[in-house]
A = this chain, B = another copy of it.
Amino acid sequence: MDDSPAPAPRSRRERPAKPALTRAGIVTAAVRLMEAEGLQRVTMRRLAQELDTGPASLYVYVANTAELHAAILEHHLGRVDLGAAAGTGAAEPGTADDPGAAACAGAAEPGAADDPSTADDPGRDWRGRLAAVLESYTTVLLEHPALAHSALLARPAGPHYLALVETLLALLEEGGVPAGQAAWGVDALLQVATATAAEHSARTGAAAEAEHGAMVRALREADPSRYPKVAATAGDLVSGRPTERLAWTFRMLINGVAATPR
């Protein structure tokens, strides 16, 4: 055992010395690979190639592809702005990695004060702060919609996920929502946020754009004699900027959770 020759007697190689395989190292490499080439390229084979080994070796540390993707998601969950729960935070100015990210969530043009949840003072009431956390979560997922897609299937259970749930529960408690419905409500809130982001994973590429256009047309041109209400409402069904719709949806969910006893 201890008389084996040094862990790896290689010294001349192009790669900066292959590090020992560990679960953490695999996940780090996976995160980096995703950042570089997208989740669709984070396959067991491609990742193994990146780590200078064969795919079979990864199965010693990762059970399957779904678990690998869940680990990547848990990593990204660390970027959710939980500070928004206290009315501070907003964008943690220290991280200049991705300056566009935070702006994407709630930043309507100033003056559009018809939306209290993302208005000038987001820290005012618990509802606004709850919406802000959910918007941050959605923003993180929207940077990698394919990841949101996996999140619907294999929910993470790591510390970042627990911290997010903890924060949401605290805000609902602050709002006086009974614990029973708060617990079920957190599930629904995260599900809608996740599903919304996941829906965007297919909305990339020209083909998807065309398909989406076809759906909008199907609604707008619905036969008014067979689908009168669809025809009458078509404008509303597809109306609104995505951030507006999402803000309304979060407000709607919060209202529902607060008002629906078990």
Binding site for B on A (CB under 8 A): 63-64, 66-67, 149, 152-155, 157-159, 162-163, 165-166, 169-170, 173, 179-188, 191-192, 194-196, 198-199, 201-202, 207, 211, 214-215, 218-219, 222, 226-230, 232-233, 236-237, 239-240, 245, 248-249, 251-257, 259-260, 262
Q: How far is the CA of A183 from the CA of B183 in the complex (A)?
A: 27
| B-chain residues with CB within 8 Å of residue A157 when the two chains form the complex | 214-215, 218-219
Q: How far is the CB of A189 from chain B (nearest CB, A)?
A: 10
A162–B218 touching, CB < 8 Å:
yes
Given the complex, which residues of B lie within 8 Å of A192, measured CB to CB? 188, 191-192, 195
CA distance A9 to B199 in the complex (A): 47
Kindly name the residue among A218, A228, A252 whose own CB sees the greatest number of chain B CB atoms within 10 A.
A252
Using A253-B256, A256-B256, A259-B259 as known contacts, say yes or no to A237 and B187 having CB atoms under 8 A apart.
yes
Do A166 and B260 touch (CB < 8 A)?
no
Apart from the given pairs A154-B202, A165-B219, 20 other A-B contacts in the complex at a CB distance below 8 Å = A152-B199, A153-B199, A157-B214, A165-B227, A165-B230, A166-B228, A166-B229, A166-B230, A169-B230, A179-B232, A181-B252, A182-B236, A183-B236, A184-B248, A184-B252, A191-B196, A191-B199, A248-B262, A252-B260, A255-B259
